[in-house]
Chains A and B, each alone.
Chain A
Amino acid sequence: EAGVTQFPSHSVIEKGQTVTLRCDPISGHDNLYWYRRVMGKEIKFLLHFVKESKQDESGMPNNRFLAERTGGTYSTLKVQPAELEDSGVYFCASSLYRGTVVRGEQFFGPGTRLTVL
């Protein structure tokens, strides 16, 4: 069974440009999460989808970030316009269930490394 996939693996853009990251969760997983790791810092939660609905978007840094999950399958995270501080690795994760960290285990993708110049 395929794991969580993310595209692209790397993206280098200039400040002010727009970038869209894509995440394909494990088939059948209703729960989809986005996290971000800025250089030297911890991995931070951005938001959580349950199917196509945003369950929790408390970690979204500002309105330059827009996440969508049309149809409850894959998700996109758009950054517009990108700023230097947006550089980092963006991880997507999916889970079949919610609840405890074991029952609702989140499976992470390999991440997209975003560099804003």
Chain B
Amino acid sequence: QQQVKQSPQSLIVQKGGISIINCAYENTAFDYFPWYQQFPGKGPALLIAIRPDVSEKKEGRFTISFNKSAKQFSLHIMDSQPGDSATYFCAAHRDDKIIFGKGTRLHILP
């Protein structure tokens, strides 16, 4: 049973555009909702994370929007750049475990 559902599976965005990736979760016991970025040949790396008592977290061009009542959260990448092309994983954290979504392959067209 998948605890964190992520969409879309792949995404193509023009340079300068906004990339949006969505996730939904079921378990209300998670204490953090992180996003990971993975480049080919590398492991996932923590990009940005939000606590469930916060509705928005912004770091540079990356913003997490969190809707606790809907059990949904999303990653927005503003002014998307070709260097942002990677696989993005939403996740939920509890008891030292990270529960990942299936990932979104993002490609930014130059």
Is there contact, CB below 8 Å, between B44 and A91? yes
18 A-B pairs in the complex with CB atoms less than 8 angstroms apart: A42-B4, A42-B89, A42-B99, A42-B100, A42-B103, A45-B98, A45-B99, A100-B31, A100-B32, A101-B31, A101-B49, A101-B93, A104-B96, A106-B46, A108-B42, A108-B43, A109-B43, A110-B41
Complex Cα–Cα for A91 and B28 (A): 26
Complex Cα–Cα for A99 and B94 (A): 9
Given contacts A42-B2, A105-B46, A110-B42, contact A56 B95 (CB under 8 A): yes
Is there contact, CB below 8 Å, between A110 and B98? no
**Min CB gap B92→A, angstroms:** 9
Encode contact with B along A78-117: 1 for CB under 8 Å, 0 otherwise. 0000000000000101000011111011111111000000
Q: List the A side residues contacting B96 at CB < 8 Å.
A: 31, 33, 48, 55-56, 98-99, 104
Given contacts A4-B43, A56-B95, A108-B43, contact A44 B100 (CB under 8 A): yes
In the complex, whether B105 has a CB less than 8 A from a CB of chain A is no
In the complex, whether A43 has a CB less than 8 A from a CB of chain B is yes
Q: List the A side residues contacting B97 at CB < 8 Å.
A: 45, 48, 56, 59
Q: Which parts of B57-110 form the interface with A (CB within 8 Å)?
A: 89, 93, 95-103
Q: List the A side residues contacting B46 at CB < 8 Å.
A: 101-102, 105-106
The interface on chain A, measured as residues whose beta carbon lies within 8 A of the other chain's beta carbons, has a size of 29
**Min CB gap A90→B, angstroms:** 11
Q: Which parts of A44-98 form the interface with B (CB within 8 Å)?
A: 44-45, 48, 55-56, 59, 91, 93, 98
Given contacts A42-B4, A42-B103, contact A101 B98 (CB under 8 A): yes
Q: Which parts of B1-33 form the interface with A (CB within 8 Å)?
A: 2, 4, 31-32
| Most chain A CB within a 10 A radius of its CB, from B43, B49, B89 | B43
Is there contact, CB below 8 Å, between A42 and B43? no
**Min CB gap A63→B, angstroms:** 21
Complex Cα–Cα for A106 and B49 (A): 13
**Min CB gap B102→A, angstroms:** 5
Given contacts A55-B96, A98-B96, A101-B32, contact A41 B102 (CB under 8 A): yes
